[in-house]
Amino acid sequence: MARKDVRIGVSGWTYAPWRGVFYPKGLSQKRELAHASRRFRSIEINGTFYSQQTPTSFGHWYDETPEDFVFAVKAPRFITHIRRLREVEVPLANFWASGVLRLEAKLGPLLWQLPPSFRFDADRLDKFFAMLPRDTAEAARMGAGHDERLKGEPWLQVARNRPLRHALEIRHDSFRDPAFIALLKKHGIALVCADTVEWPRLMDLTADFVYCRLHGSEELYRSRYPDAELDRWAARVRAWADGKPMRDGEFVLPPKGKEKARDVFLFFDNTDKLHAPDDAHALMRRLGQAVPA
Alpha carbon distances (Å) from 170 to 111, 131, 145, 192, 292: 11, 19, 28, 8, 33
Output the pLDDT for position 39: 97
pTM for the structure as a whole: 0.96
Q: What is the pLDDT of residue 258?
A: 82
Check residue 205 and give its pLDDT.
Answer: 97
> What pLDDT score was predicted for residue 273?
64
Amino acid at 166: H
Residues with Cβ < 8 Å from 159, sequence gap 6 or more? 104
Q: How far apart are CA 134 and CA 98, in angstroms?
A: 18
Instruction: Average pLDDT across each block of 10 residues of the chain; the chain has 293 residues. List them in order.
Output: 86 93 95 98 97 97 98 98 98 98 98 98 98 98 97 94 98 97 98 90 97 83 87 97 95 89 96 84 97 84
What pLDDT score was predicted for residue 97? Answer: 98
* Per-residue pLDDT, 285: 98
